[in-house]
């Protein structure tokens, strides 16, 4: 066992290293955190439980000394058990139990009493000068960390046992195996008992090699990044919402004050009552939002920690056990995040003025104060989502192949015919704009404040303002253009036999020659995959930005694949126009789910913020589903 020292690391005013920085008494069963700070077991337990009361369930806590974020090692809903999972600091325990030990323990075993001069923290033993000399010469112990007895009294010392390298069930055993069935690292004892009947159990070296080579580490990092972006966005929106409701209350209080000055003494009582109601609502709303923000912040910290662990794991090649432990820890944290059903809370405070409020002698209140909440879950999972159709309407003279959600929940539908137009619907599915005379409009994509609309027959891309839909410019190309998407500031346009990469001004940067001659649909994932489909060969392919095809998907249950779309989890939606279903694929090309019973879908578009999906059936009918 090796050790690390942190001289002067503690901010505790007590210089005695055997004193707990929380209770300021001698350590009782000291346990240490990954940041190397030690605390009494009961002190650490009480601290963790107290920190977990404000947000349930928590995913971790901050070290009381250095404030480093520490992910939980146990069930997120059982914070009272977390302290048990952290290892004991046996060195500190020995210093507390044997404060006056002055003899070399190696010599005592031979019946000799020699004065101890040093302490080997790797062996957890006191040594005399002669034993220290040979200890440092012996091949088996020359790498041990040895400090003088005086040094031990003035620095923080902890065993250098990586918590992540220990078996979750048997904390004294090192991780040696990895079960692919349970996605869990374990010791040899667990491997021979709990995982004895599992299909695949590898050594840590083989497991790390497999996880590296099959892209699971990259996939995990991409998913962590996606969740981090989603949680950060939700946190920002809730902080903005908190400011909004505070401003709402401030405005209403100001109005009440102004009106109060115009009224007589009787209104004084009503004013006080109304302001009290407003601030009670504000307090309730603030508390709810702050709890949600704190929970999201907790999730983001956990994601940041897991992301850092995985990034470190990608760089390390020497200690496979540590690499695997970091991967398993990140997977466990991510799985815990997914299971907690995080949600984004939106709170509003509205005031309904009483119509005859000026007749104050008859009034008992100035206005009705109401705290309204709307909640949307952040952990969207299409595998279990249930779709319920709530809207259906026809497209006149419809020949629709594409559709796209715009900002503010709006939806754009291009009609692909000689006198085509595109129609824009608001979030209530009311048509708010029709732009005609487009001549075979195909697909559309919004990039910032501009909408790019492809027109196959004229080989052009028309660019419109996303605010008032007036035409800004036109991009002329040499190919018929169909599907369009965007990635990292560039546009990708499907042209049947190839895909063009161009900037928003129309300059072509790359021409990808692809298999098949009917690739008219294209979409892109957050991790950098360009996904396209041939509706005749019925093959979906994914390639990287350098043009390397990384996977392809084909199924006898997928006929006439058309519109493609992605979501924040990097699922890919393929509308089977002739198989009456939608195939949902992972970003590695694996089938996640088949949504059956949708008649002849030509696209399936997801809006996670509004929790709706829009489908075009038989080129001329729009179905809208809630999930």
Phi, psi of 200 (to 5 degrees): -140, 115
Please check whether residues 412 and 373 belong to one and the same domain: no
From residue 530, alpha-carbon distances to 451, 534, 585 in Å are 20, 14, 14
Residue 382 lies in a domain: no
Same structural domain, 602 and 529: yes
Residue 15 pLDDT exceeds 70: no
Half-sphere exposure of 100 (CA within 13 A, CB side): 0
Structure tokens at 600: 């002849």
Cα distance between residue 576 and residue 563, in whole Å: 8
- The CATH number assigned to the domain holding 134 equals 3.30.40.10
How far is residue 541's CA from residue 523's CA, in Å, rounded to a whole number?
11
Residue 164, pLDDT above cutoff 70: no
Q: Is the confidence at residue 266, as pLDDT, over 60?
A: yes
Question: Which one is predicted more confidently, 85 or 302?
Answer: 302
Q: What is the C-alpha to C-alpha distance for residues 242 and 74, in angstroms, rounded to an integer?
A: 32
**Mean pLDDT comparison of 103-107, 215-219, 336-340, 363-367, highest-scoring range:** 103-107
pLDDT band at 360 (very low <50, low <70, confident <90, very high): low
Partner residues linked to 186 by β-bridges: 177
The answer on 405 and 525 residing in a single domain is yes
- Calpha distance 244→241 (Å, rounded): 5
| Most confident option among 364-373, 437-446, 571-580 | 571-580
Q: Residue 269 and residue 489: Cα distance in Å, rounded?
A: 59
pLDDT 10s digits, 369-385: 888 776 666 667 788 88
Q: What is the pLDDT of residue 356?
A: 66
Distance spanning both ends of the chain, measured CA to CA:
54
DSSP 409: G
350 and 393 in a single domain? The answer is no
Is residue 225 in some structural domain? no
CA 346 – CA 318 distance, rounded (Å): 47
- Given a contact cutoff of 8 angstroms between Cβ atoms, the answer to whether 404 and 411 are in contact is yes
Give CA separation, 550 vs 3, 483, 527, 530, 589, in Å: 45, 21, 13, 10, 9
| Residue of 181, 179, 173, 180 lying closest to 191 (CA atoms) | 179
- Model confidence band, residue 1 (pLDDT cutoffs 50, 70, 90): very low
For residue 101, pLDDT over 80 is answered with: no
Is there a single domain that holds both residue 244 and residue 392? no
Tokens of 134: 């040979």
Q: Is 417 contained in some domain?
A: yes
Long-range contacts of 190-194, Cβ-Cβ distance < 8 Å, separation of 24 or more: 194/169
Among 13-17, 144-148, 203-207, the minimum mean pLDDT is found in 13-17
Neighbours of 336 (CB within 10 A): 18
Pairing assessment for the beta strands 38-40 and 30-32 based on DSSP bridges: antiparallel
Q: Which two tokens stand for residue 547?
A: 């043009």
Average pLDDT for 213-232: 82
Q: Which 8-state DSSP code applies to residue 478?
A: S
CATH number at residue 183: 3.30.160.60
CB-based contact 270:360 (threshold 8 Å): yes
Same domain? 153 vs 169: no
Report the alpha-carbon distance of residue 143 to residue 157 in Å, rounded: 17
Distance CA 560, CA 573 (A): 13
**Dist. CA 286–CA 458, nearest whole Å:** 55
- C-beta separation of 492 from 524 below 8 A: yes
Task: Look at 34 and 242; give whichever has higher pLDDT.
Answer: 242
What are the tens digits of pLDDT across the range 389-401?
999 998 887 788 8
Mean pLDDT of 464-472: 90
Question: Is the predicted pLDDT of residue 185 greater than 60, yes or no?
Answer: yes
Q: Which of 144-148, 176-180, 344-348, 577-581 has the highest mean pLDDT?
A: 577-581
Which range, of 270-274, 432-436, 445-449, averages the lowest pLDDT?
270-274
Instruction: Give whole-number Cα distances, 16 to 10, 77, 125, 158, 540, in Å.
Output: 11, 36, 20, 15, 67
Q: Round to whole Å and give the CA distance between 305 and 39.
A: 22
Q: Which helix (H) or strand (E) holds 266?
A: helix 266-315
pLDDT digits (tens, 9 = 90+) for 400-429: 888 899 988 899 988 877 577 788 999 889
Range of the domain at 108: 3-159
> What is the predicted pLDDT for the residue at 17?
83
Contacts of 319 (CB under 8 A, 6+ apart): none
Question: H or E stretch including 596?
Answer: strand 591-596
Whether residues 150 and 208 fall in one domain: no
* Total number of domains constituting the chain: 4
Residues 397 and 496 in one domain: yes
The pLDDT, as a whole number, for residue 486 is 93
Q: Residue 552: CA atoms inside 13 Å, Cβ hemisphere, count?
A: 12
Together in a domain, 67 and 190: no
In a domain, 84, yes or no: yes
Q: Are residues 403 and 466 in the same domain?
A: yes
Task: Decide which of 106 and 266 is more confident.
Answer: 106
| Residue (of 185, 205, 180, 225) closest to 334 by Cα position | 225
Is 336 in the same domain as 301? yes
**What local confidence, expressed as pLDDT, does residue 161 receive?**
60
Question: Is the pLDDT assigned to residue 605 strictly greater than 90?
Answer: yes
| CA pair distance 257, 260, nearest whole angstrom | 5
> Is the residue at 55 inside a domain?
yes
39 within domain boundaries: yes
Question: Is residue 511 predicted with pLDDT exceeding 50?
Answer: yes
The more confidently predicted of residues 166 and 352 is: 352
- Kindly report whether the global pTM for this prediction surpasses the value 0.75: no
Share of the chain above pLDDT 70, in %: 92
- pLDDT at 114 exceeding the cut of 50: yes
Q: Strand pairing partners for 166?
A: 174
Residue 591 lies in a domain: yes
**Is 532 a domain residue?**
yes
Verify cis geometry, omega within 30 degrees of 0, for the bond prior to 57. yes
Q: What is the pLDDT of residue 50?
A: 83
How many beta carbons lie within 10 A of that of residue 2, not counting itself? 11
pLDDT at position 514 is 93
The more confident residue out of 446 and 115 is 446
Predicted pLDDT at 56? 59
Window from 126-135, 267-276, 441-450, 519-528 with minimum mean pLDDT: 267-276
Integer CA distances (angstroms), 577 to 572, 617, 622, in order: 16, 8, 14
The chain-wide mean pLDDT, for the chain, equals: 85
All residues at 6 or more sequence positions from 233 whose CB lies less than 8 Å from its CB, including other chains: none
**Owner of token pair 């501009």:** 450
Residue 536 clears pLDDT 90, i.e. is over it: yes
Same domain, residue pair 306 and 371: yes
Rounded to the nearest 5°, which phi and psi values hold at 606?
-105, 135
């Amino acid at each position: 066992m090796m050790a690390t020292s942190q001289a002067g690391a503690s901010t505790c005013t007590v210089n005695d290293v055997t004193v707990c920085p929380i209770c300021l008494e001698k350590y009782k069963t000291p346990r240490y955190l990954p940041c190397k700070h030690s605390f009494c077991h009961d002190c650490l337990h009480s601290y963790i439980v107290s920190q977990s009361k404000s947000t349930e369930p928590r995913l971790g806590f901050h070290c009381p000394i250095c404030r480093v974020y520490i992910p939980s090692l146990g069930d997120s809903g059982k914070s009272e058990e977390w302290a048990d999972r952290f290892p004991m600091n046996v060195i500190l325990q020995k210093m507390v139990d044997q404060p006056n030990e002055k003899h070399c323990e190696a010599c005592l075993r031979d019946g000799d009493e020699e004065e101890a001069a040093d302490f080997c923290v790797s062996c957890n033993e006191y040594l005399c000068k002669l034993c220290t000399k040979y200890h440092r010469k012996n091949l088996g112990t020359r790498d041990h960390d040895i400090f003088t007895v005086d040094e031990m009294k003035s620095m923080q010392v902890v065993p250098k046992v990586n918590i992540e390298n220990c078996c979750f069930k048997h904390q004294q055993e090192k991780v040696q195996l990895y079960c692919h069935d349970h996605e869990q690292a374990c010791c040899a004892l667990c491997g021979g008992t709990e995982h004895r009947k599992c299909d695949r159990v590898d050594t840590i070296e083989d497991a790390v090699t497999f996880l590296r080579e099959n892209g699971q580490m990259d996939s995990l990092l991409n998913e962590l990044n996606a969740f981090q972006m989603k949680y950060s966005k939700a946190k920002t929106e809730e902080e903005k919402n908190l400011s909004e409701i505070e401003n709402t209350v401030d405005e209403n209080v100001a109005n009440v004050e102004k009106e109060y000055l115009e009224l007589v003494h009787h209104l004084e009582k009503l004013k006080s009552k109304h302001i009290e109601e407003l601030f009670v609502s504000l307090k309730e709303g603030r508390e709810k939002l702050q709890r949600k923000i704190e929970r999201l912040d907790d999730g983001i910290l956990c994601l940041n920690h897991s992301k850092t662990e995985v990034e470190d794991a990608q760089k390390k090649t020497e200690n496979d056990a540590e690499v695997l432990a970091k991967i398993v820890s990140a997977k466990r944290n991510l799985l815990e995040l997914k299971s907690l059903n995080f949600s984004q809370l939106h709170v509003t405070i509205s005031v309904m003025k009483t119509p005859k409020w000026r007749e104050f002698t008859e009034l008992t209140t100035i206005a009705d104060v109401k705290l309204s909440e709307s909640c949307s879950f952040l952990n969207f999972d299409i595998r279990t989502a249930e779709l319920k159709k709530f809207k259906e309407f026809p497209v006149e003279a419809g020949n629709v192949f594409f559709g796209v959600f715009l900002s503010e929940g709006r939806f754009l539908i291009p009609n692909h015919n000689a006198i085509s137009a595109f129609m824009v619907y608001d979030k209530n599915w009311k048509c708010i704009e029709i732009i005609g005379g487009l001549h075979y409009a195909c697909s559309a994509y919004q990039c910032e404040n501009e909408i790019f609309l492809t027109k196959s027959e004229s080989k052009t891309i028309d660019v419109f303002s996303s605010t008032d839909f007036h035409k800004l410019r036109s991009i002329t190309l040499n190919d018929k253009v169909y599907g369009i998407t965007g990635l990292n500031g560039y546009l990708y346009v499907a042209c049947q036999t190839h895909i063009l990469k161009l900037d928003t001004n129309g300059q072509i940067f790359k021409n990808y020659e692809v298999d098949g001659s009917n690739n008219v649909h294209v979409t892109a994932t957050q991790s950098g995959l360009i996904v396209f489909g041939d509706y005749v060969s019925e093959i979906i392919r994914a390639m990287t930005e350098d043009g390397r095809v990384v996977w392809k998907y084909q199924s006898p249950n997928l006929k006439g694949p058309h519109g493609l779309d992605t979501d924040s989890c990097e699922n890919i939606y393929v509308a089977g126009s002739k198989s009456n279903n939608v195939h949902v694929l992972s970003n590695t090309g694996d089938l996640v789910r088949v949504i059956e019973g949708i008649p002849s879908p030509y696209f399936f578009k997801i809006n996670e913020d509004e929790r709706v999906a829009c489908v075009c059936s038989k080129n001329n009918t729009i179905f809208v589903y809630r999930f």
